[in-house]
Amino acid sequence: MFPNVRFSTARLAFRQVTPADRDDLLSLEASPEVMLYLNGGRPVPEEGLTDSDFLTPRGTEAEVFAAHEIATGRFVGWFGVFDDGIQHGLHTAELGYRLARRAWGQGFATEGAKGLIAAAFGPWGFDCLRAQTMTVNLGSRRVLEKAGFHFVETVFPNFPDPVPGQEHGEVIYEIRRGMPATTDMQPPGRSAPLSQCGVGLLAD
């Protein structure tokens, strides 16, 4: 990812995180509601931060963007596009996001995800974005489906410290360059499983 990347959507301004964002980033991890589907809702003490990769970012990651509401300047959360390299012939990345509790329910996650998709398939040159969340994280799944992601499969990783709900597994979604967007959320059991990136063809 190039330095000094900035872009915006209708309501959100995005720029790469910096160490000066530390308090905003830590405030997300201090919220049990924000962390519910990440570590079971435990506020994260600062001394434990470096032990868990999924608790990043720390403010030095070029692939992570702080989102601020343009109208107010308030910190909304972060969005990340993590490069997974070439997979099945497609340049693939994983999309992630974490929003402040006060920002929920206003369409910001969906708007931000769509902005990241446009940048990823445009100037950043990715072919495929993937996303993973807990099966029971219905809000996040809804965001992915509203942004145009399609359900791929449910997996059951062997986490050393599973949190409540993990017995239902994790769902994998993907979107590829040129894939038509959808706004229809299928009930989990009826979602049409698609292939992994680059394997087979998508149905129209």
CB of 36 to ligand COA, least distance (A): 7
> If binding means CB under 6 A, how many residues of this protein chain bind ligand COA?
21
Which residue, 93, 100, 83, is CA-closest to 21?
100
128 lines the binding site for ligand COA (CB under 6 A): no
Residue at 21: amino acid letter: D
117 lines the binding site for ligand COA (CB under 6 A): no
CB of 73 to ligand COA, least distance (A): 18
Which residues 43-82 are close enough to bind ligand COA by CB under 6 A?
77
Out of 12, 109, 119, 120, which residue is the one contacting ligand COA (CB under 6 A)? 109
Give the integer Cα–Cα distance in Å for 13 and 65. Answer: 9
Out of 17, 128, 143, 152, which residue is the one contacting ligand COA (CB under 6 A)? 143
Give burial (CB, 10 Å; 0-12/13-18/19+) of 198: middle
H or E segment to which residue 94 belongs: strand 90-99
Q: What backbone phi and psi angles, to 5 degrees, belong to 50?
A: -80, -5
Residues that bind ligand COA (CB under 6 A): 34, 37, 77, 97-99, 103-110, 133, 137-140, 142-143
